[in-house]
Amino acid sequence: MTTPQIIVMIGGILLILFIAWFFWLSPKEQTRISTNNNGTQEVAITVKGGYTPDIIVVKAGQPLRMRFTRQESSSCSETVTFPDFNKSAKLPEGQEVIVEFTPDKPGEYGFQCLMGMLRGKLIVE
């Protein structure tokens, strides 16, 4: 193998490693929700090709209010569901939809669109 070929190959491997790290291993941003005066934890979530924020850290035993706003028309994100809490909601485009429940037990709970293509996580501590 010639030197340029080796350089190209090493470059390719490094690029692949970087992409793998970026998508699977890089630390994901967590959003910590604070409790307001009424004892409710409230967070606004934007739905557009995913959930923003998508990793939400909340306290157990305090009511959680999530205000979803879907800013796209793709039918994929039409419904958001919290399987562990038996909750789901239709998200009409551009309209704020409130999903409320009280997470009782600490743990990690996923939420997603109906097909599971968009995913988020609720970390209850």
The residues of the shown chain that bind Cu ion, judged by CB under 5 A, are 76, 113, 115, 117
Least separation in angstroms between residue 76's CB and Cu ion is: 3
Distances in whole angstroms, Cα of residue 120 to Cα of each of 3, 8, 42, 123: 45, 37, 16, 10
Least separation in angstroms between residue 106's CB and Cu ion is: 28
Rounded to 5 degrees, what are φ and ψ at 24? -110, -30
C-beta closer to Cu ion: residue 11 or 49: 49
Least separation in angstroms between residue 69's CB and Cu ion is: 17
C-beta closer to Cu ion: residue 40 or 79: 79
C-beta closer to Cu ion: residue 64 or 113: 113
Task: Please give the Cα distance from 117 to 77 (Å, whole number).
Answer: 8
* Torsion angle, alpha carbons of 38, 40, 44, 45, to 10: -170
C-beta closer to Cu ion: residue 36 or 73: 73
89 close to 69: Cβ distance less than 8 angstroms: no
